[in-house]
Chain A
Amino acid sequence: MHVADPHEGHTSKTVDQALHELRTHAVEMGGLVIDQVGSAVKALLERDLRLADMVLSREPQVNEYESRIDRESLTFIALHQPVASDLRSARAVSRAALELERVGDESKKIARFAAKAGAVAPHDCVSSVSRSLRHMATLSTSMLRNAVRALDEADPALARDVLDKDKEVDEEFASALRQLMSFAMEDQQFLRATVDTVFALKGLERIGDHAKNVAEQVLYMVEGERPRKQKKGDRGQGTGDS
């Protein structure tokens, strides 16, 4: 339960540097995927094909970050045989990178839909839930930002805030689904577009889950204990993997 200084203080400065680099790369990756989420949703709402293409073109960079962090954490473990908080840090960063890579995948899916919807389909069903899409994007990117910051600063309080925020994303998702159902029932010609919009919303909801998983890794890294699994409907503190 002791992470006095997350980066420094080792007798071996190589260890300080290796841990620092691991986290720096995770933070850089976090910045990239947060931008991917925001850009994908903006492309969808504003029918911006150029932006959608940019998101798709940057996806390999996200994957490259994940491979690099995975490789670096494995090398760190092999060369330095870390224990206790150092071992938990290396593991947390590696697993956080995996979660962020999945966020990148969700952004890619939303961007693909944006490219398709912007080019051909009428945009009415997206417009009908634009407020929810914006709100969910704001919430999920805010969760991601705080989760990555909590990882960088080894801040358990910030990580717990992220866990608590997941409820709001889920509620917004449920509300948007209801709206879309009504929309689809009124006019079935939009059924295909509605299904795609549901996937976009679901993607944002999953991004909230990934941010929550990163926050859980931070809690394990800092406190050495897994956050308590949460039962459905019991949204107090701490939560489990989704």
Chain B
Amino acid sequence: MNTIVDIQTVNTPRQAAKMQGETSAPGSDTPSLSIVMEDRKSARANPAKAAAENLSFWYGSNQALKNINLVIPEHQVSALIGPSGCGKSTFLRCFNRMHDLQADTRYEGAITLRPDNVNLVGPETDPIEVRMRIGMVFQKPNPFPKSVFENVAYGLRLRGVNSKTELAERVEKALRGAAIWDEVKDRLNDSALALSGGQMQRVCISRALATEPEILLFDEPTSALDPIATAKIEELITELRQRVTVLIVTHNMQQAARVSDFTAFMYLGELVEVDATSKIFTNPSKKATEDYITGRYG
């Protein structure tokens, strides 16, 4: 378990898979490479944007995550799948320190964010700083009871952007980035709550994009939406990878298959398998993964 891996040199899906159980020992210095290259024809993974290293998490005495090691490649979409209660949402929420809002929780291990190697779950790291860099979109669209414009401008204002021109530019850019500008450009001052569910979700994505996060977390972003709105969000996620690294939790395996480059399967708080999505959905290596994705689980 103490093999050390340089997350910036992980180049192939197989290498990413190999990172399970092959990461740096807690407390070690700069990690170094110890992965064997494998000649695979599948798409190559970009350098890592973040890596969970021996990450464990407790709700009180209940251990929800057990020694997770996972690389999140930059500008690619990584999907987390697994049955309810397997810890995938818990894992996702570690990335922006959502658990800090709850009493009696505890992290162990690290989530290292590149390029500056900040440990996102380290007690020395300010959670507000973390949330500035890691955006999140939730299952249910949750716009603020404000206008479309103010929803998107909210994070920018918090960061001290007050120039009307700059705000207008950045709000438009974020709304365009979330593929909803054309639908709301004439309704910027209307309440965001008056939009359809799919539109509200895209406004929430715009709100997250406005502050230009490095990683965008999606926690079942389409489970409350109809198929057309879902397709729009999925198309958006596919496009977003050019600007931001995406980590998505989904119960819909076909969605994971459609939008992600890499898929990680979690079960009972452990990471069972991670590989290129095309590999996971045609020939997974672990029986537990096979049983889950073919509907033999439970």
Q: Is the CB of B282 within 8 A of A88?
A: yes
Partner of A83, one of B282, B285, B297, B298: B282
B295 within 8 A of A: yes
Q: Would B283 and A225 count as touching, CB distance under 8 A?
A: yes
Instruction: Say how far B256's CB is from chain A's closest CB, in angstroms.
Output: 10
Indicate if the CB atoms of A12 and B282 lie closer than 8 Å. Answer: no
Inter-chain contacts of B284 with A (CB < 8 A):
2, 84
Bound: A83/B296 CA distance, A: 12
Question: Given that A2-B287, A4-B287 are known contacts, is A86 also in contact with B282, CB under 8 Å in the complex?
Answer: no
Interface string of A1-12 (1 = CB under 8 A from B): 110100001111
Q: How far is the CA of A81 from the CA of B291 in the complex (A)?
A: 15
Say yes or no: is A38 at the interface (Cβ < 8 Å to chain B).
no
Q: Chain A CB within 10 Å — which of B257, B295, B297 has the most?
A: B295
User: With A2-B287, A224-B282 given, is the CB distance from A85 to B294 under 8 Å?
Assistant: yes
Interface residue from B285, B290, B297, B298 paired with A85 (Cβ < 8 Å): B290
A15 at the interface (CB under 8 A from B): yes
Please determine whether A10 and B254 come into contact, CB atoms closer than 8 angstroms. Answer: no
Specify which chain A residues have a CB less than 8 angstroms from the CB of B281 in the assembled complex: 83-84, 87
> Is A122 on the interface with B (CB-CB < 8 A)?
no
Instruction: Say whether A86 contacts B294, CB under 8 Å.
Output: yes
The answer to whether the Cβ of A82 comes within 8 Å of any Cβ in the partner chain is yes
Using A81-B254, A83-B257 as known contacts, say yes or no to A1 and B296 having CB atoms under 8 A apart. no
The chain A residue with its CB closest to the CB of B253 is A83
The answer to whether A11 and B295 touch (CB under 8 A), given A1-B283, A84-B282, is: yes
Contacts of B193 in A (CB 8 A): none
* Contacting residues of chain B (1-53) with chain A, CB-CB under 8 angstroms: none
For residue B295, which residues in chain A have a CB less than 8 angstroms away from its CB?
10-12, 15
A6 to chain B, nearest CB (A): 12
- Complex Cα gap A4–B295 (Å): 13
Residues of B246-298 contacting chain A, CB below 8 A: 253-254, 257, 280-285, 287, 289-291, 293-298
Please state if B293 and A84 are interface contacts (CB–CB under 8 Å).
Answer: yes
A82-102 interface with B by 8 A CB criterion: 82-88
CB neighbours of A87 from chain B (8 A): 281-282
Closest Cβ neighbor of A10 among chain B residues = B295
Q: Which of A212-238 contact B (CB under 8 A)?
A: 224-225
Complex Cα distance, B282 from A225, in Å, reads 10
What is the bound-complex CA distance between A159 and B296, given in angstroms?
26
Q: Closest chain B residue to A9 by CB distance? A: B296
Residues of chain B within 8 A of A12, CB atoms compared? 295
Chain B residue at smallest Cβ distance from A220 = B283
Task: Considering the complex, give the chain B residue whose CB is closest to the CB of A3.
Answer: B290
Contact of A224 with B296 in the complex, beta carbons under 8 Å = no
For A1, A81, A83, the residue with the greatest tally of chain B CB atoms inside 10 Å of its CB is A83
Contacts of A88 in B (CB 8 A): 282-283
CB atoms of A82 and B294 under 8 A apart: yes
Q: Which single member of A1, A11, A15 contacts B285 (CB below 8 Å)? A: A1
Question: How far is A9 from B293 in the complex, measured between Cα atoms in Å?
Answer: 13
In the complex, chain B residues whose CB is within 8 Å of the CB of A224: 282-283
Measured CA separation A225–B285 after assembly (Å): 11
From residue B264, how far is it (CB to closest CB) to chain A in Å? 16
Q: Which of A3-31 contact B (CB under 8 A)?
A: 4, 9-12, 15
Interface centre among B253, B289, B294, B298 (most CB of A within 10 A): B294
20 contacts between A and B (CB under 8 A): A1-B283, A2-B287, A4-B291, A4-B296, A9-B296, A11-B295, A11-B296, A11-B297, A11-B298, A81-B254, A82-B294, A83-B253, A83-B257, A83-B294, A84-B281, A84-B284, A84-B293, A84-B294, A85-B290, A86-B294
New A-B pairs, 11, CB < 8 Å, besides A2-B287, A11-B295, A84-B283? A2-B284, A4-B287, A4-B296, A10-B295, A83-B257, A83-B282, A84-B280, A84-B281, A84-B294, A85-B290, A224-B283
Shortest 9 CB-CB contacts between residues of A and residues of B: A224-B283, A2-B290, A83-B281, A2-B287, A9-B296, A10-B295, A86-B294, A11-B295, A83-B293
